[in-house]
Amino acid sequence: MVNINLAYSAPINPSGASPILSEAQIWNGLRRKVRKAHEFVAPILECEVLSEEDTASGIKVTRQVVFDKEARGSNDNVVKEVVYEFAPTRVDFYQPDGSKVFNIVSVDQEGNLIMTYAFEWQHPGVEAEGEQAKELRDKYFKLREL
């Protein structure tokens, strides 16, 4: 079994950006991403919210997303995800196969807002040091460009 862990960060308001987004605007955007993922994530074609509830630590949203078949494979492109919103800095996405995605808003030393995306994809049938694991890492790394 292999777990593929990747993360990357990017400035939210890079030099020359206009308009400059506030933390509140970013949070509202992340909340929209939870409910309308297809507007933000190119491999997601559809997103339907199945339920939403307040919990002690944040809002829990259960949703069904439809991925492009090339992004996930033709046999598992419909996924029921559980998403937790931890205002105003983090959204965690949990997939039924154990894979996880985290969107984290932070601030650098100069006070600039930064978005970090962290991923953990689980592949129980893949050998950790095999060629297939390398191909999967390369594939997932390229997804960050979408």
pLDDT(146) > 80: no
Q: What is the pLDDT of residue 122?
A: 86
Q: State how beta strands 2-11 and 113-123 pair.
A: antiparallel
**What number is the average pLDDT over the span 44-64?**
97
Beta strands in the chain (DSSP E): 2-11, 44-54, 59-67, 78-86, 90-94, 100-107, 113-123
Residues in the chain: 146
Domain spans of the chain? Answer: 2-143
When the pLDDT of each residue in the chain is averaged and rounded to a whole number, the result is 92
Q: How many Cα neighbours within 13 Å face the side chain of 77?
A: 14
Which CATH number is associated with domain 2-143? 3.30.530.20
DSSP structure class, residue 22: P
Q: How confident is the model at residue 139 (pLDDT cuts 50, 70, 90)?
A: confident
User: What pLDDT, in 10s, does the model give residues 80-109?
Assistant: 999 999 999 999 999 998 999 999 999 999
Confidence class for position 134, pLDDT limits 50, 70, 90: confident
Find the range with the poorest average confidence among 51-60, 90-99, 133-142.
133-142
Burial 72-106 (b: 16+ CB within 10 A, else e): beeeebebebebbbeeeebbbbbbeeebbbbbbbe
Q: State the pLDDT at residue 73.
A: 63
* 3-state SS, residue 132: helix
